[in-house]
């Protein structure tokens, strides 16, 4: 019995030592879940804006909070994780990431999946009719509605922000420690570009799954029950099941966490590690601080690490190949951080598509093309054994194609729908809604503040009141004075832009596919331009810089959200301090600004990569020094 007991208390690693291939496969799953979550947030962005009444600028800030947390954590994890048990740190990150997903779904439990107000016709039918119909006897009073709307859902947004922040913090090990663990333990270094390319491509395939998930869940009403009669997914008032995807990602994270705790610290024998360290260290200074004395306290080691940290960063900043490639990586990342973030909104508003179809198309363009191209490009680099300098040239050529694609996207236009009574005020440089119209001037519509569009014969109005509609029967507005007494149809009539949409999808898919075949080169050059004991901090610092600086993930949604709001012509609410989400854009201004901003930053990426190639011609890579030795 004592023998059996001792065996049962043996550490799990003594019983089972999974292979490195299993670690790679597990990381593919985790990266897919993380990418799925990131794509899902983007796909549900317009639904979140509708649910919580926010414009593109605050929603961009909500997306950026994830990268704020990621930036805070990734540099610390990368630097101090060099000597840690990297698989276990990764497993802890996976476990805690599930917690952040459940936190993102918590507002649905606290505040409901849909707003409980007068705009739900089924529950407040009589009040809805009285507040929305044409009524010459109605008194226009300020009952504090706009003031209440201004502060509504603030706590829910705080919860979402905390969830986004924690999701960014806990995902830091995925992008650094796991990559370096694989690169350091793989036997054949020639296979490294393919494996790392496979992982990187999953960062693109994952969001594709997220877009597909958001497209599917947008077809379900937010309550998962029966939607109000007459409400369909193409309507402005439709809210998809925005919270359900967070729950799904949280459960998947939870199931994936346990295996990470069974992997060994390294697959390389200790003697081999020491010889490798001596081989690569040479006389270079500074290097990552070695933890030489086992009896040294953790606080002393931490103090030593903090003291040498500036020297390590200084060593990286004096490496021109590393710096120029990091800058190119930063500007090139705008493809996902800027273009990919708001592409569903662009397709939905520019071409009059439902949120579900916009998610599907956006996934095909920005994620499907990039993901497949990255995977194929990593395989090509691995099979052809392309040298670093040749790979940089390939990246330079492919990113020129991305630049041309952005400029080509401006050509595929679609006429914006016209809302009767909406006019441009030159003295304010803005669009204003003129509520006084001849056909409905007697309807007292100034108190109707929310967008509830109706149309007839291609003519759109802000609400049934503005169209002079008097009766509501069988879920349809009737006897509308502006339509000569005819009945009104719900929603906005958009121009048929099928050919323009198809052309846009084809051009952007081909361009982004060809333009991202060699995106893996960015990470490969970052890892190859430094010595082995600098890889973790080099990759962490590159990711940190990408997040922080002008074209990285943090500023990109903020800047583009601001730019998109500038092209808004009509907000969901006419309240001066709480406009809610934008429901109508100036299509020309949106289209040109959206693509020109991306093209400008892509041009900066092309210039940086060309500079990197010039520096690489004059500088020797560490692996070339090793070959000579």
Number of continuous H segments (helices) and E segments (strands) in the chain: 27, 9
pLDDT surpassing 70 at residue 298: no
Picking from 97, 96, 91, 95, the residue whose alpha carbon sits closest to that of residue 259 is 91
* The predicted structure's pLDDT at residue 412: 93
CATH assignment of the domain containing 48: 1.20.1250.20
pLDDT surpassing 90 at residue 293: no
Q: Domain check: are 222 and 241 in the same one?
A: yes
0.85 surpassed by pTM: no
Helix (H) or strand (E) holding 301: helix 298-317
Instruction: Tell me how crowded residue 430 is: count the other CB atoms within 10 A of its CB.
Output: 11
Question: Which position has the higher pLDDT, 589 or 273?
Answer: 589
pLDDT surpassing 90 at residue 231: no
| 63-74: average pLDDT | 81
CA atoms within 13 A on the CB side of 16: 8
Q: What angle do CA 139, 140, 143 make, to 5 degrees?
A: 110
- Residue 431 in 3-state DSSP? strand
Q: Domain check: are 475 and 594 in the same one?
A: no
| 607-617: average pLDDT | 90
How far apart are the C-alpha atoms of 44 and 212, rounded to whole Å?
A: 11
Q: Domain check: are 461 and 569 in the same one?
A: no
| 274-288: average pLDDT | 44
Residue 286 covered by a domain: no
Q: Using alpha carbons, list the distances in angstroms from residue 211 to 56, 190, 250, 332, 513.
A: 19, 33, 17, 21, 18
CB 168 within 8 A of CB 101: no
* The predicted structure's pLDDT at residue 283: 42
How far apart are the C-alpha atoms of 438 and 558, rounded to whole Å?
A: 41
The answer for residues whose C-beta is within 8 angstroms of residue 391's C-beta and 6 or more apart is 381, 518, 521, 524, 525
Give the model confidence (pLDDT) of 233-265 as tens digits.
Answer: 777 778 889 999 999 999 999 999 888 888 887
Question: Which position has the higher pLDDT, 522 or 296?
Answer: 522
Residue 278 covered by a domain: no
Confidence of residue 624 (pLDDT cuts 50, 70, 90): low
How far apart are the C-alpha atoms of 256 and 174, rounded to whole Å?
A: 13
Q: Domain check: are 436 and 403 in the same one?
A: no
pLDDT surpassing 80 at residue 284: no
CB 217 within 8 A of CB 43: no
Domain total of the chain? 2
Taking phi first (over 0 means left), then psi (-120 to 50 degrees means alpha), and beta for anything else, what does residue 468 get?
A: left
Could you please report the per-residue DSSP string of 52-86? HT--HHHHHHHHHHHHHHHHHHHHHHHHHTSSS-H
Q: Using alpha carbons, list the distances in angstroms from residue 434 to 139, 382, 463, 574.
A: 19, 62, 13, 11
Rg for the chain, CA atoms, rounded = 28
Q: Domain check: are 119 and 159 in the same one?
A: yes
Q: What share of the chain is helix, strand, coil (3-state, %, to 5)?
A: 65, 5, 30
In degrees and rounded to multiples of 5, residue 570 shows phi and psi of -150, 125
Residue 252 covered by a domain: yes
Give the model confidence (pLDDT) of 144-180 as tens digits.
Answer: 555 555 555 678 888 898 999 999 899 888 777 777 7
From 439, 467, 490, the end of a domain falls on 490
Q: Domain check: are 410 and 432 in the same one?
A: no
Residue 9 covered by a domain: no
Q: Using alpha carbons, list the distances in angstroms from residue 206 to 321, 367, 372, 542, 555.
A: 30, 8, 11, 22, 22
* The predicted structure's pLDDT at residue 271: 40
Would you state the structure tokens that stand for residue 344, as one six-digit string? 């569903």
Give the model confidence (pLDDT) of 8-34 as tens digits.
Answer: 444 444 455 777 788 888 888 998 999
The answer for residues whose C-beta is within 8 angstroms of residue 233's C-beta and 6 or more apart is 218, 219, 240, 354, 355, 356
| 337-348: average pLDDT | 82
From 475, 490, 505, the end of a domain falls on 490
Q: Domain check: are 92 and 108 in the same one?
A: yes
Residue 289 covered by a domain: no
Residue 272 covered by a domain: no
* The predicted structure's pLDDT at residue 102: 95
Q: Domain check: are 462 and 528 in the same one?
A: no
Lowest mean pLDDT among 48-57, 77-86, 310-319, 398-407: 77-86
* The predicted structure's pLDDT at residue 435: 54
Q: Domain check: are 332 and 443 in the same one?
A: no
Can you give the residue range of the structural domain that contains 355? Answer: 19-266+298-415+497-628
How far apart are the C-alpha atoms of 76 and 537, rounded to whole Å?
A: 9
From 435, 459, 490, the end of a domain falls on 490
Question: Which position has the higher pLDDT, 55 or 120?
Answer: 55
Confidence of residue 54 (pLDDT cuts 50, 70, 90): confident
Give the model confidence (pLDDT) of 419-458 as tens digits.
Answer: 886 665 554 555 565 655 678 888 888 777 777 888 888 8
Cis peptide bond upstream of 286, omega within 30: yes
Residue 285 covered by a domain: no
Q: Domain check: are 197 and 134 in the same one?
A: yes
Q: What angle do CA 447, 451, 455 make, to 5 degrees?
A: 110
Instruction: Tell me how crowded residue 615 is: count the other CB atoms within 10 A of its CB.
Output: 17
pLDDT surpassing 90 at residue 627: no
| 215-231: average pLDDT | 82
The answer for residues whose C-beta is within 8 angstroms of residue 219's C-beta and 6 or more apart is 233, 240, 356
Q: Domain check: are 226 and 203 in the same one?
A: yes
Q: Which of 210-219, 300-309, 417-426 shows the highest mean pLDDT?
A: 210-219
Residues in the chain: 629
Residue 126 covered by a domain: yes
Confidence of residue 504 (pLDDT cuts 50, 70, 90): very high
**DSSP bridge partners of 480:** 469, 486
Instruction: Tell me how crowded residue 269 is: count the other CB atoms within 10 A of its CB.
Output: 9
How far apart are the C-alpha atoms of 566 and 314, rounded to whole Å?
A: 41
Q: Domain check: are 115 and 250 in the same one?
A: yes
Confidence of residue 122 (pLDDT cuts 50, 70, 90): low
């Amino acid at each position: 019995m004592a023998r059996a007991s001792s065996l049962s208390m043996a550490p799990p690693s003594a019983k089972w030592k999974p292979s490195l291939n299993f670690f790679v496969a597990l990381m593919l799953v985790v990266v897919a879940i993380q990418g799925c979550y990131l794509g899902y947030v983007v796909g549900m962005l317009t639904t979140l804006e509708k649910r919580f009444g926010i414009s593109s600028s605050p929603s961009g800030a909500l997306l950026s909070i994830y990268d704020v947390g990621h930036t805070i954590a990734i540099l610390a994890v990368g630097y101090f994780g060099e000597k840690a048990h990297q698989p276990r740190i990764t497993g802890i990150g996976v476990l805690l990431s599930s917690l952040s997903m459940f936190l993102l779904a918590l507002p649905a439990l606290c505040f409901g999946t849909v707003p409980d107000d007068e705009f739900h016709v089924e529950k407040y039918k009589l009040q809805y009719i009285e507040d929305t119909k044409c009524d010459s006897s109605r008194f226009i009073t300020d009952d504090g509605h706009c003031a209440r709307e201004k502060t509504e859902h603030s706590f829910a947004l705080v919860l979402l922000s905390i969830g986004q922040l924690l999701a960014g913090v806990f995902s830091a090990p995925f992008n650094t420690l796991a990559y370096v663990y694989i690169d350091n333990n793989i036997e054949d270094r020639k296979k490294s570009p393919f494996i790392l390319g496979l992982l990187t491509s999953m960062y693109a395939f994952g969001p594709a799954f997220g877009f597909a998930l958001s497209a599917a869940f947008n077809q379900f009403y937010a309550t998962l029950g029966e939607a109000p009669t007459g409400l369909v997914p193409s309507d402005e008032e439709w809210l998809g099941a925005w919270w359900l995807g967070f729950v799904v990602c949280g459960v998947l994270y939870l199931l994936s966490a346990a295996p990470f705790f069974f992997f060994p610290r390294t697959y390389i024998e200790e003697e081999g590690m020491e010889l490798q360290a001596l081989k690569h260290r040479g006389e270079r200074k500074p290097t990552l601080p070695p933890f030489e004395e086992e009896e040294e306290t953790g606080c002393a080691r931490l103090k030593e690490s903090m003291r040498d940290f500036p020297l390590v960063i200084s060593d990286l900043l004096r490496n021109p190949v590393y710096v120029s490639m990091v800058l190119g990586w930063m500007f090139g990342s705008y493809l996902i951080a800027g273009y990919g973030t708001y592409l569903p909104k662009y397709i939905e508003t520019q071409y009059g598509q439902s949120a579900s179809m916009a998610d599907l198309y956006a996934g095909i363009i920005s994620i499907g093309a990039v993901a497949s191209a990255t995977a194929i490009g990593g395989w090509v680099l691995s099979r052809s054994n392309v040298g670093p300098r040749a790979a940089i040239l390939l990246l330079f050529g492919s990113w020129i194609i991305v630049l041309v694609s952005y400029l080509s996207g401006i050509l595929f236009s679609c006429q914006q729908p016209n809302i009767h009574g909406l006019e441009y005020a030159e003295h304010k440089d803005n669009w204003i809604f003129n509520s006084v119209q001849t056909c409905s001037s007697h309807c007292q519509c100034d108190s109707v503040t929310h967008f509830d569009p109706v149309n007839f014969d291609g003519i759109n109005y802000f609400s049934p009141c503005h169209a002079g509609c008097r009766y509501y029967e069988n879920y349809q507005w009737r006897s509308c004075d502006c339509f000569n007494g005819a009945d009104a149809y719900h929603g906005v009539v958009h121009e048929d832009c099928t050919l323009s949409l198809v052309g846009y999808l084809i051009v952007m898919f081909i361009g982004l596919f060809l333009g991202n075949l060699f995106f893996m080169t960015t990470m490969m050059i970052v890892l190859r331009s430094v010595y082995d004991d600098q890889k973790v901090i080099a990759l962490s610092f590159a990711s940190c810089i990408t997040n922080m600086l002008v074209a990285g993930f943090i500023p990109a949604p903020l800047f583009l959200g601001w730019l998109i709001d500038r092209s808004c012509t009509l907000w969901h609410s006419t309240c001066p301090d709480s406009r809610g989400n934008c429901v109508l854009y100036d299509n020309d201004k949106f289209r040109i600004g959206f693509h020109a901003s991306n093209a400008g930053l892509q041009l900066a990426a092309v210039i940086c990569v060309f500079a990197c190639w010039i520096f690489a011609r004059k500088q020797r890579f560490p692996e070339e020094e090793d070959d000579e030795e």
